[in-house]
Protein backbone atom coordinates (compact mmCIF):
# COMPACT_ATOMS: atom_id res chain seq x y z
CA UNK A 1 0.00 0.00 0.00
CA UNK A 2 1.37 3.46 -0.95
CA UNK A 3 2.32 5.75 1.93
CA UNK A 4 -0.48 8.21 2.80
CA UNK A 5 1.97 11.13 2.50
CA UNK A 6 3.71 9.73 -0.58
CA UNK A 7 2.28 12.15 -3.14
CA UNK A 8 2.67 15.33 -1.08
CA UNK A 9 5.64 15.14 1.28
CA UNK A 10 8.74 17.02 0.06
CA UNK A 11 11.79 15.07 1.17
CA UNK A 12 15.37 16.38 1.14
CA UNK A 13 18.30 14.04 1.78
CA UNK A 14 21.74 15.56 2.35
CA UNK A 15 24.44 13.17 1.09
CA UNK A 16 24.40 10.32 -1.42
CA UNK A 17 26.58 7.95 0.60
CA UNK A 18 25.38 4.51 1.67
CA UNK A 19 22.82 5.93 4.13
CA UNK A 20 21.47 8.62 1.80
CA UNK A 21 21.05 6.20 -1.11
CA UNK A 22 19.33 3.62 1.11
CA UNK A 23 16.96 6.24 2.55
CA UNK A 24 16.02 7.56 -0.89
CA UNK A 25 15.40 4.04 -2.16
CA UNK A 26 13.43 2.91 0.90
CA UNK A 27 11.18 5.99 0.67
CA UNK A 28 10.65 5.63 -3.09
CA UNK A 29 9.74 1.97 -2.60
CA UNK A 30 7.06 3.06 -0.15
CA UNK A 31 5.61 5.47 -2.71
CA UNK A 32 7.19 8.82 -1.82
CA UNK A 33 7.30 10.82 -5.03
CA UNK A 34 9.27 13.98 -4.20
CA UNK A 35 12.70 12.94 -2.97
CA UNK A 36 15.67 15.25 -3.62
CA UNK A 37 19.19 14.06 -2.81
CA UNK A 38 21.96 16.68 -2.58
CA UNK A 39 25.54 15.49 -2.96
CA UNK A 40 28.74 17.54 -2.95
CA UNK A 41 30.63 15.13 -5.20
CA UNK A 42 30.14 15.08 -8.95
CA UNK A 43 29.15 11.42 -8.88
CA UNK A 44 29.07 8.48 -6.48
CA UNK A 45 32.89 8.31 -6.70
CA UNK A 46 33.31 5.50 -4.18
CA UNK A 47 36.88 4.67 -3.23
CA UNK A 48 38.36 1.37 -4.27
CA UNK A 49 37.78 -0.72 -1.21
CA UNK A 50 36.00 -3.80 -0.02
CA UNK A 51 33.14 -3.98 2.40
CA UNK A 52 31.74 -6.77 4.54
CA UNK A 53 28.11 -7.50 3.75
CA UNK A 54 26.85 -9.27 6.85
CA UNK A 55 23.42 -10.97 6.90
CA UNK A 56 21.68 -8.00 8.54
CA UNK A 57 22.79 -5.88 5.57
CA UNK A 58 22.01 -8.36 2.78
CA UNK A 59 18.56 -8.89 4.37
CA UNK A 60 17.86 -5.15 3.96
CA UNK A 61 19.23 -5.17 0.41
CA UNK A 62 16.87 -8.01 -0.45
CA UNK A 63 14.02 -6.12 1.13
CA UNK A 64 14.88 -3.09 -1.03
CA UNK A 65 15.08 -5.32 -4.11
CA UNK A 66 18.73 -4.58 -4.94
CA UNK A 67 20.67 -7.58 -3.64
CA UNK A 68 20.49 -9.16 -7.09
CA UNK A 69 22.47 -6.24 -8.58
CA UNK A 70 25.52 -7.06 -6.49
CA UNK A 71 25.28 -10.83 -6.02
CA UNK A 72 27.78 -11.42 -8.84
CA UNK A 73 30.45 -9.41 -7.03
CA UNK A 74 29.88 -10.83 -3.56
CA UNK A 75 32.05 -13.64 -2.19
CA UNK A 76 30.71 -15.80 0.62
CA UNK A 77 33.06 -15.98 3.60
CA UNK A 78 33.26 -19.44 5.14
CA UNK A 79 35.79 -18.77 7.88
CA UNK A 80 37.61 -16.03 9.75
CA UNK A 81 41.27 -16.61 10.55
CA UNK A 82 42.85 -14.53 13.32
CA UNK A 83 46.64 -14.61 13.28
CA UNK A 84 49.67 -13.27 15.16
CA UNK A 85 51.13 -10.49 13.03
CA UNK A 86 54.79 -11.37 13.56
CA UNK A 87 54.60 -15.15 13.09
CA UNK A 88 51.41 -15.82 11.11
CA UNK A 89 50.41 -18.32 13.84
CA UNK A 90 46.65 -18.88 13.69
CA UNK A 91 45.12 -18.01 17.08
CA UNK A 92 41.53 -18.79 16.14
CA UNK A 93 39.68 -20.11 13.15
CA UNK A 94 36.00 -19.24 13.28
CA UNK A 95 33.74 -21.08 10.89
CA UNK A 96 31.13 -18.90 9.22
CA UNK A 97 29.34 -21.73 7.42
CA UNK A 98 26.60 -21.67 10.08
CA UNK A 99 25.74 -18.06 9.25
CA UNK A 100 23.40 -18.71 6.30
CA UNK A 101 21.39 -21.28 8.24
CA UNK A 102 21.30 -19.37 11.52
CA UNK A 103 20.54 -15.89 10.14
CA UNK A 104 18.96 -16.64 6.76
CA UNK A 105 21.75 -15.07 4.67
CA UNK A 106 25.42 -15.96 4.22
CA UNK A 107 28.23 -13.68 5.37
CA UNK A 108 29.56 -12.00 2.22
CA UNK A 109 32.17 -9.46 1.25
CA UNK A 110 32.06 -7.29 -1.87
CA UNK A 111 33.47 -4.26 -3.62
CA UNK A 112 32.20 -1.07 -2.03
CA UNK A 113 31.26 0.29 -5.43
CA UNK A 114 29.16 -2.83 -6.12
CA UNK A 115 27.11 -2.05 -3.00
CA UNK A 116 26.80 1.66 -3.83
CA UNK A 117 25.92 0.91 -7.45
CA UNK A 118 23.28 -1.61 -6.40
CA UNK A 119 21.59 1.05 -4.26
CA UNK A 120 21.98 3.62 -7.05
CA UNK A 121 20.51 1.24 -9.66
CA UNK A 122 17.52 0.79 -7.36
CA UNK A 123 17.18 4.58 -7.06
CA UNK A 124 17.40 5.05 -10.82
CA UNK A 125 14.72 2.42 -11.31
CA UNK A 126 12.51 4.45 -8.98
CA UNK A 127 12.81 7.59 -11.19
CA UNK A 128 11.21 10.09 -11.38
CA UNK A 129 10.52 9.82 -7.68
CA UNK A 130 14.15 10.50 -6.77
CA UNK A 131 16.13 13.45 -8.17
CA UNK A 132 19.89 13.58 -7.59
CA UNK A 133 21.61 16.96 -7.39
CA UNK A 134 25.32 16.21 -7.72
CA UNK A 135 27.98 18.96 -7.36
CA UNK A 136 25.63 20.57 -4.84
CA UNK A 137 26.62 21.24 -1.26
CA UNK A 138 24.17 21.96 1.51
CA UNK A 139 25.51 24.95 3.43
CA UNK A 140 22.68 25.84 5.78
CA UNK A 141 19.68 24.41 7.61
CA UNK A 142 16.79 26.55 8.79
CA UNK A 143 14.62 24.92 11.45
CA UNK A 144 12.48 28.00 12.10
CA UNK A 145 9.97 27.94 9.30
CA UNK A 146 6.94 25.75 8.88
CA UNK A 147 8.66 22.56 7.79
CA UNK A 148 12.34 23.05 7.15
CA UNK A 149 14.69 24.30 4.49
CA UNK A 150 18.24 23.76 3.43
CA UNK A 151 20.52 26.11 1.60
CA UNK A 152 22.07 24.51 -1.43
CA UNK A 153 25.14 25.79 -3.23
CA UNK A 154 26.12 24.36 -6.56
CA UNK A 155 29.54 24.72 -8.20
CA UNK A 156 28.88 28.20 -9.56
CA UNK A 157 26.22 29.86 -7.50
CA UNK A 158 25.88 31.69 -4.22
CA UNK A 159 23.18 29.30 -3.17
CA UNK A 160 19.48 29.49 -2.46
CA UNK A 161 17.02 27.99 0.00
CA UNK A 162 15.05 24.84 -0.79
CA UNK A 163 11.82 24.23 1.16
CA UNK A 164 11.03 20.74 2.38
CA UNK A 165 8.68 18.98 4.79
CA UNK A 166 11.41 16.74 6.13
CA UNK A 167 15.21 16.74 5.89
CA UNK A 168 17.52 13.78 6.47
CA UNK A 169 21.15 14.52 7.27
CA UNK A 170 23.02 11.60 5.70
CA UNK A 171 26.15 13.67 5.26
CA UNK A 172 28.67 11.48 7.03
CA UNK A 173 30.99 11.99 9.97
CA UNK A 174 31.71 15.62 9.00
CA UNK A 175 27.95 16.35 8.88
CA UNK A 176 26.93 19.96 8.50
CA UNK A 177 23.32 19.09 9.41
CA UNK A 178 24.56 17.75 12.77
CA UNK A 179 26.61 20.89 13.26
CA UNK A 180 23.52 23.09 12.85
CA UNK A 181 21.42 20.81 15.04
CA UNK A 182 23.96 20.84 17.88
CA UNK A 183 24.44 24.61 17.62
CA UNK A 184 20.70 25.00 18.07
CA UNK A 185 20.95 22.94 21.27
CA UNK A 186 23.91 24.99 22.43
CA UNK A 187 26.21 21.96 22.14
CA UNK A 188 29.67 21.70 20.57
CA UNK A 189 30.11 19.56 17.49
CA UNK A 190 32.78 17.43 19.07
CA UNK A 191 34.24 15.06 16.47
CA UNK A 192 36.74 12.91 18.32
CA UNK A 193 40.11 12.02 16.94
CA UNK A 194 40.70 8.31 17.62
CA UNK A 195 44.43 8.63 16.95
CA UNK A 196 44.00 5.86 14.38
CA UNK A 197 44.25 5.81 10.60
CA UNK A 198 43.59 3.13 8.00
CA UNK A 199 45.26 2.22 4.72
CA UNK A 200 42.96 0.75 2.09
CA UNK A 201 44.56 -1.26 -0.69
CA UNK A 202 43.44 -3.62 -3.41
CA UNK A 203 45.56 -6.17 -5.27
CA UNK A 204 44.40 -7.89 -8.45
CA UNK A 205 44.60 -11.66 -8.71
CA UNK A 206 47.21 -11.44 -11.49
CA UNK A 207 49.47 -9.35 -9.21
CA UNK A 208 49.50 -12.27 -6.75
CA UNK A 209 49.59 -15.12 -9.27
CA UNK A 210 53.38 -15.61 -9.16
CA UNK A 211 53.32 -16.36 -5.42
CA UNK A 212 51.42 -19.57 -4.52
CA UNK A 213 50.95 -18.53 -0.87
CA UNK A 214 49.48 -15.17 -1.82
CA UNK A 215 47.42 -16.68 -4.62
CA UNK A 216 45.87 -19.05 -2.07
CA UNK A 217 44.65 -16.02 -0.08
CA UNK A 218 42.70 -14.51 -2.98
CA UNK A 219 41.32 -17.92 -3.95
CA UNK A 220 40.06 -18.61 -0.44
CA UNK A 221 36.72 -17.88 1.25
CA UNK A 222 38.42 -16.50 4.33
CA UNK A 223 38.76 -13.17 6.11
CA UNK A 224 42.31 -12.89 7.47
CA UNK A 225 43.08 -10.68 10.46
CA UNK A 226 46.75 -10.22 11.48
CA UNK A 227 46.97 -8.55 14.88
CA UNK A 228 49.92 -6.75 16.48
CA UNK A 229 50.49 -4.03 19.08
CA UNK A 230 48.54 -0.90 18.12
CA UNK A 231 47.96 -2.22 14.59
CA UNK A 232 46.14 -4.84 12.61
CA UNK A 233 45.40 -5.79 9.04
CA UNK A 234 42.19 -7.35 7.74
CA UNK A 235 42.08 -8.78 4.23
CA UNK A 236 39.66 -10.80 2.11
CA UNK A 237 38.92 -11.60 -1.54
CA UNK A 238 36.18 -9.61 -3.29
CA UNK A 239 34.70 -9.29 -6.79
CA UNK A 240 34.28 -13.03 -7.42
CA UNK A 241 37.81 -13.69 -6.04
CA UNK A 242 39.49 -11.45 -8.61
CA UNK A 243 40.65 -8.81 -6.11
CA UNK A 244 42.30 -9.13 -2.69
CA UNK A 245 41.12 -6.29 -0.45
CA UNK A 246 43.36 -5.12 2.37
CA UNK A 247 42.42 -2.67 5.11
CA UNK A 248 44.66 -1.71 8.03
CA UNK A 249 44.45 0.20 11.29
CA UNK A 250 47.48 1.91 12.82
CA UNK A 251 48.35 4.95 14.91
CA UNK A 252 47.75 8.11 12.92
CA UNK A 253 51.00 9.91 12.16
CA UNK A 254 50.40 11.62 8.84
CA UNK A 255 47.09 13.38 9.55
CA UNK A 256 48.29 14.35 13.02
CA UNK A 257 51.31 16.04 11.43
CA UNK A 258 49.03 17.99 9.10
CA UNK A 259 45.78 18.63 11.01
CA UNK A 260 44.23 20.80 8.28
CA UNK A 261 44.52 18.08 5.63
CA UNK A 262 41.47 16.22 4.34
CA UNK A 263 40.58 13.00 6.18
CA UNK A 264 41.39 10.86 3.17
CA UNK A 265 44.62 11.08 1.24
CA UNK A 266 46.95 9.26 -1.15
CA UNK A 267 49.60 7.75 1.06
CA UNK A 268 53.27 7.01 0.71
CA UNK A 269 53.96 3.32 0.07
CA UNK A 270 57.35 3.41 1.82
CA UNK A 271 55.76 4.89 4.94
CA UNK A 272 53.17 2.11 4.91
CA UNK A 273 55.83 -0.59 4.52
CA UNK A 274 57.71 0.90 7.48
CA UNK A 275 54.61 0.73 9.70
CA UNK A 276 54.19 -2.99 8.94
CA UNK A 277 57.86 -3.96 8.59
CA UNK A 278 57.71 -6.26 11.66
CA UNK A 279 54.71 -8.22 10.36
CA UNK A 280 55.34 -11.74 9.01
CA UNK A 281 57.04 -12.22 5.61
CA UNK A 282 53.73 -13.21 3.97
CA UNK A 283 52.14 -9.86 4.87
CA UNK A 284 55.23 -7.86 3.97
CA UNK A 285 55.43 -9.61 0.56
CA UNK A 286 51.79 -8.80 0.01
CA UNK A 287 52.20 -5.10 0.87
CA UNK A 288 55.30 -4.81 -1.30
CA UNK A 289 53.17 -5.68 -4.33
CA UNK A 290 51.04 -2.57 -3.96
CA UNK A 291 51.79 -0.21 -6.88
CA UNK A 292 53.23 3.17 -5.92
CA UNK A 293 50.44 5.76 -5.80
CA UNK A 294 47.69 3.26 -5.04
CA UNK A 295 47.75 3.44 -1.25
CA UNK A 296 44.85 5.36 0.23
CA UNK A 297 44.85 6.45 3.87
CA UNK A 298 41.79 7.36 5.95
CA UNK A 299 41.69 9.15 9.25
CA UNK A 300 39.40 7.30 11.66
CA UNK A 301 37.12 9.60 13.62
CA UNK A 302 34.13 9.14 15.89
CA UNK A 303 31.73 11.42 17.76
CA UNK A 304 30.45 11.36 21.30
CA UNK A 305 26.87 9.96 21.49
CA UNK A 306 24.35 12.67 20.64
CA UNK A 307 21.55 13.62 23.04
CA UNK A 308 19.12 13.43 20.13
CA UNK A 309 19.18 12.80 16.39
CA UNK A 310 16.05 14.87 15.74
CA UNK A 311 15.23 18.58 15.71
CA UNK A 312 11.84 19.57 14.36
CA UNK A 313 11.45 17.84 11.02
CA UNK A 314 15.17 17.16 10.59
CA UNK A 315 16.78 13.83 11.45
CA UNK A 316 20.30 12.49 11.22
CA UNK A 317 21.34 9.03 10.08
CA UNK A 318 24.44 6.95 9.41
CA UNK A 319 27.89 8.29 10.24
CA UNK A 320 26.37 11.73 10.84
CA UNK A 321 24.99 10.45 14.16
CA UNK A 322 26.79 7.15 14.91
CA UNK A 323 30.21 7.02 13.21
CA UNK A 324 31.50 3.52 13.90
CA UNK A 325 35.10 2.36 13.79
CA UNK A 326 35.61 -0.22 11.03
CA UNK A 327 36.61 -3.03 13.44
CA UNK A 328 33.05 -4.44 13.55
CA UNK A 329 32.41 -4.01 9.79
CA UNK A 330 29.04 -2.42 10.50
CA UNK A 331 29.22 1.33 9.73
CA UNK A 332 27.64 1.18 6.28
CA UNK A 333 25.34 -1.65 7.32
CA UNK A 334 23.91 0.47 10.14
CA UNK A 335 23.54 3.53 7.87
CA UNK A 336 21.57 1.37 5.43
CA UNK A 337 19.47 -0.12 8.25
CA UNK A 338 18.64 3.48 9.29
CA UNK A 339 17.40 4.18 5.76
CA UNK A 340 15.23 1.05 5.68
CA UNK A 341 13.68 1.91 9.05
CA UNK A 342 12.96 5.46 7.90
CA UNK A 343 11.12 3.93 4.94
CA UNK A 344 8.84 1.98 7.30
CA UNK A 345 8.27 4.84 9.74
CA UNK A 346 7.58 7.53 7.14
CA UNK A 347 5.19 5.26 5.24
CA UNK A 348 3.01 4.86 8.34
CA UNK A 349 2.46 8.60 8.89
CA UNK A 350 -0.93 9.91 7.90
CA UNK A 351 -0.43 13.68 8.09
CA UNK A 352 2.40 16.19 7.93
CA UNK A 353 1.80 17.27 11.51
CA UNK A 354 2.96 13.80 12.56
CA UNK A 355 6.38 13.98 10.88
CA UNK A 356 8.26 15.13 13.98
CA UNK A 357 6.69 12.37 16.08
CA UNK A 358 7.59 9.85 13.37
CA UNK A 359 11.21 10.96 13.49
CA UNK A 360 11.24 10.42 17.26
CA UNK A 361 9.96 6.88 16.65
CA UNK A 362 12.82 6.33 14.17
CA UNK A 363 15.32 7.58 16.75
CA UNK A 364 13.91 5.26 19.40
CA UNK A 365 14.09 2.30 17.04
CA UNK A 366 17.71 2.96 16.07
CA UNK A 367 19.70 4.90 18.67
CA UNK A 368 20.34 2.26 21.33
CA UNK A 369 21.30 -0.41 18.78
CA UNK A 370 23.73 1.74 16.82
CA UNK A 371 25.35 3.26 19.89
CA UNK A 372 25.89 -0.20 21.33
CA UNK A 373 27.61 -1.26 18.10
CA UNK A 374 29.79 1.87 18.17
CA UNK A 375 30.98 0.71 21.60
CA UNK A 376 31.52 -2.89 20.46
CA UNK A 377 33.64 -1.69 17.51
CA UNK A 378 35.76 0.47 19.81
CA UNK A 379 36.14 -2.39 22.32
CA UNK A 380 37.23 -4.73 19.55
CA UNK A 381 39.87 -2.24 18.44
CA UNK A 382 41.20 -1.96 22.00
CA UNK A 383 41.45 -5.76 22.31
CA UNK A 384 43.10 -6.21 18.92
CA UNK A 385 45.68 -3.45 19.53
CA UNK A 386 46.81 -4.34 23.08
CA UNK A 387 50.42 -3.44 23.86
CA UNK A 388 51.00 -4.92 27.33
CA UNK A 389 52.57 -8.41 26.90
CA UNK A 390 50.58 -9.95 29.79
CA UNK A 391 47.30 -8.57 28.45
CA UNK A 392 48.22 -9.77 24.96
CA UNK A 393 48.94 -13.26 26.28
CA UNK A 394 45.57 -13.38 28.09
CA UNK A 395 43.79 -12.21 24.94
CA UNK A 396 45.61 -14.76 22.76
CA UNK A 397 44.61 -17.49 25.19
CA UNK A 398 41.01 -16.28 24.92
CA UNK A 399 41.31 -16.60 21.13
CA UNK A 400 42.53 -20.19 21.56
CA UNK A 401 39.54 -20.96 23.79
CA UNK A 402 37.02 -19.79 21.18
CA UNK A 403 36.87 -23.30 19.73
CA UNK A 404 35.67 -24.48 23.15
CA UNK A 405 32.89 -21.88 23.22
CA UNK A 406 34.69 -18.96 24.86
CA UNK A 407 33.96 -15.31 23.97
CA UNK A 408 35.90 -13.99 20.99
CA UNK A 409 38.05 -10.88 21.61
CA UNK A 410 37.48 -10.04 17.92
CA UNK A 411 33.90 -8.91 18.48
CA UNK A 412 33.05 -9.06 14.75
CA UNK A 413 33.20 -12.85 14.88
CA UNK A 414 31.93 -13.41 18.42
CA UNK A 415 28.82 -15.62 18.41
CA UNK A 416 26.83 -13.48 20.90
CA UNK A 417 27.64 -10.29 18.98
CA UNK A 418 26.67 -11.99 15.72
CA UNK A 419 23.32 -12.96 17.23
CA UNK A 420 22.71 -9.34 18.15
CA UNK A 421 23.97 -7.84 14.91
CA UNK A 422 23.06 -10.43 12.27
CA UNK A 423 19.92 -11.72 13.92
CA UNK A 424 18.20 -8.33 13.91
CA UNK A 425 15.61 -7.72 11.19
CA UNK A 426 15.34 -3.92 11.35
CA UNK A 427 12.37 -3.70 8.97
CA UNK A 428 10.33 -6.29 10.87
CA UNK A 429 11.27 -4.64 14.15
CA UNK A 430 10.10 -1.21 12.90
CA UNK A 431 6.85 -2.63 11.57
CA UNK A 432 6.12 -4.41 14.87
CA UNK A 433 6.94 -1.50 17.18
CA UNK A 434 5.72 1.51 15.19
CA UNK A 435 2.23 1.82 16.73
CA UNK A 436 3.41 1.44 20.32
CA UNK A 437 6.34 3.85 19.95
CA UNK A 438 4.25 6.39 18.05
CA UNK A 439 1.57 6.44 20.74
CA UNK A 440 4.23 6.84 23.43
CA UNK A 441 6.00 9.67 21.59
CA UNK A 442 2.68 11.41 20.97
CA UNK A 443 1.83 11.10 24.65
CA UNK A 444 5.06 12.89 25.60
CA UNK A 445 4.45 15.87 23.26
C1 LIG B 1 38.75 1.71 6.64
C2 LIG B 1 37.25 1.56 6.72
C3 LIG B 1 36.67 0.30 6.52
C4 LIG B 1 35.26 0.14 6.63
N5 LIG B 1 34.73 -1.11 6.43
C6 LIG B 1 33.39 -1.28 6.56
C7 LIG B 1 32.77 -2.58 6.37
O8 LIG B 1 33.44 -3.59 6.07
N9 LIG B 1 31.42 -2.70 6.53
C10 LIG B 1 30.63 -1.61 6.84
O11 LIG B 1 29.39 -1.77 6.96
N12 LIG B 1 31.18 -0.37 7.03
C13 LIG B 1 32.52 -0.18 6.89
N14 LIG B 1 33.06 1.06 7.07
C15 LIG B 1 32.20 2.19 7.48
C16 LIG B 1 31.45 2.83 6.34
O17 LIG B 1 32.32 3.18 5.29
C18 LIG B 1 30.70 4.08 6.82
O19 LIG B 1 30.10 3.83 8.06
C20 LIG B 1 29.61 4.45 5.82
O21 LIG B 1 30.19 4.81 4.58
C22 LIG B 1 28.74 5.59 6.34
O23 LIG B 1 27.78 5.93 5.38
P24 LIG B 1 27.07 7.34 5.41
O25 LIG B 1 26.15 7.34 4.24
O26 LIG B 1 26.52 7.61 6.75
O27 LIG B 1 28.24 8.41 5.20
P28 LIG B 1 29.24 8.61 3.99
O29 LIG B 1 29.49 7.33 3.29
O30 LIG B 1 30.39 9.36 4.54
O31 LIG B 1 28.44 9.54 2.97
C32 LIG B 1 28.19 10.90 3.22
C33 LIG B 1 27.97 11.60 1.88
O34 LIG B 1 27.52 12.93 2.12
C35 LIG B 1 28.18 13.81 1.24
N36 LIG B 1 28.17 15.13 1.88
C37 LIG B 1 28.83 15.47 3.02
N38 LIG B 1 28.54 16.74 3.35
C39 LIG B 1 27.67 17.21 2.40
C40 LIG B 1 27.00 18.46 2.22
N41 LIG B 1 27.16 19.48 3.09
N42 LIG B 1 26.18 18.61 1.15
C43 LIG B 1 26.00 17.57 0.27
N44 LIG B 1 26.62 16.36 0.40
C45 LIG B 1 27.43 16.19 1.47
C46 LIG B 1 29.56 13.21 1.08
O47 LIG B 1 30.19 13.67 -0.11
C48 LIG B 1 29.24 11.72 1.06
O49 LIG B 1 28.98 11.26 -0.25
C50 LIG B 1 34.45 1.25 6.95
C51 LIG B 1 35.03 2.52 7.13
C52 LIG B 1 36.42 2.68 7.00
C53 LIG B 1 37.01 4.06 7.20
Q: Which CATH superfamily is domain 10-72+110-190+304-382+411-444 in?
A: FAD/NAD(P)-binding domain (3.50.50.60)
Mutate-to-test residue for ligand 1 from 18, 44, 225, highest number of ligand atoms within 8 A of CB? 18
Among 122, 116, 106, smallest CA distance to 51 is for 116
State how far the Cα of 318 lies from the Cα of 107, in Å rounded to an integer: 21
Q: Is the CB of 333 under 6 A from ligand 1?
A: yes
Protein residue closest via CA to atom 31 of ligand 1: 17
Report the candidate in 283, 298, 198, 213 with the shortest Cα–Cα distance to residue 247. 198
Q: Rounded to the nearest whole angstrom, what is the distance from the C-alpha of residue 227 to the centroid of ligand 1?
A: 25
Give the tens place of pLDDT for each residue, 389-425: 999 999 999 999 999 999 999 999 999 999 999 999 9
Most distant CA atoms of the chain, gap in Å: 67
Residues 6+ apart with CB under 8 A from 188: 182
Residues 347-365, mean pLDDT to the nearest whole number: 97
CA separation for the pair 425, 423 (Å, rounded) = 6
Dist. CA 172 → ligand 1 center (Å) = 5
Nearest protein CA to atom 35 of ligand 1, as residue:
15
Residue 147's pLDDT is: 55
194-302: CATH number: 3.30.9.30
Nearest atom (ligand 1) to Cα of 318: 26
pLDDT (average), residues 205-234: 98
Q: Do domains 10-72+110-190+304-382+411-444 and 194-302 have the same CATH topology?
A: no
Query: Phi/psi of residue 147, each to 5°?
Result: 85, -135
Burial 159-197 (b: 16+ CB within 10 A, else e): eeebebbbbbbbbbbebbbbbbbbeeeeeebebeebebb
Mean pLDDT taken over the chain: 94
Q: State the closest ligand 1 atom to the C-alpha of 19, by its place in the atom list counted from 1.
A: 25
Q: How many helices (H) and strands (E) does the chain have?
A: 16, 20
Q: Is the CB of 16 under 6 A from ligand 1?
A: yes
Phi, psi of 434 (to 5 degrees): -50, -55
Q: Ligand 1: does its nearest atom lie under 6 Å from the Cβ of 247?
A: yes
Is the Cα torsion angle 410, 329, 214, 237 positive or negative in sign? positive
Instruction: Report CA(96)–ligand 1 centroid distance (Å).
Output: 26
Nearest to 387 by CA among 237, 178, 232: 232
Cα separation, 64 vs 25, whole angstroms = 7
248-302: per-residue pLDDT in tens? Answer: 999 998 777 676 556 677 778 999 999 999 999 999 999 999 998 888 899 899 9
Output the DSSP codes for 377-426.
Answer: HHHHHHHHT---HHHHHHHHHHHHHGGGTPPPSSGGG-HHHHHHHHT--H
Q: Report the pLDDT value the prediction gives residue 213, as an integer from 0 to 100.
A: 98
Q: Is 232 helix (H, G, I), strand (E, B) or coil?
A: strand
Atom index in ligand 1 nearest the CA of residue 247 equals 1
pLDDT at 203 (0 to 100): 96
pLDDT at 206: 98
52 lines ligand 1 (CB under 6 A): yes
The per-residue pLDDT for range 19-75, each reduced to its tens digit, is 999 999 999 999 999 999 999 999 887 667 899 999 999 999 999 999 999 999 999
Percentage of residues of the chain with pLDDT beyond 70 = 96
Q: Which of 13, 17, 107 to mutate to test the pocket of ligand 1 (most atoms within 8 A of CB)?
A: 17
Residue 148: pLDDT above 80?
no
How much distance in Å is there from the Cα of 46 to the middle of ligand 1? 9
Asked if the model's pLDDT at residue 156 lies above 60, the reply is yes
330 Cβ inside 6 Å of ligand 1: yes
| Per-domain boundaries in the chain | 10-72+110-190+304-382+411-444, 194-302
CA distances 333 to 60, 134, 190, 249, Å, are 9, 23, 24, 20
**Ligand 1 pocket check for 172: Cβ under 6 Å:** yes
| Nearest to 367, CA basis, from 315, 413, 419, 410 | 315
Q: List the residue whose alpha carbon is closest to atom 52 of ligand 1.
A: 326
Give the pLDDT confidence score for residue 43 in this predicted structure: 87
Amino acid sequence: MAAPLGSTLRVVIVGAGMGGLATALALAKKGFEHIHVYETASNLGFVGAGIQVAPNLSRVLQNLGVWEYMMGDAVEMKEASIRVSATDEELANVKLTHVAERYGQPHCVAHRSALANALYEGCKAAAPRITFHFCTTVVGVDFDIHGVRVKERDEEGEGHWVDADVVFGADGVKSIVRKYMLARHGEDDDVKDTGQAAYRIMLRRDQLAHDPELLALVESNTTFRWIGAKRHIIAYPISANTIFNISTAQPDVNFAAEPTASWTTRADKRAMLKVYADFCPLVVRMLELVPEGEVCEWKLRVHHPLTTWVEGNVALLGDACHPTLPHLNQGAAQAIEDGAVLGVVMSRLTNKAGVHTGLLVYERLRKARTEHLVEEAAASGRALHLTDPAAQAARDEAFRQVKHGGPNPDRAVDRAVQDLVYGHDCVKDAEERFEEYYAEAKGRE
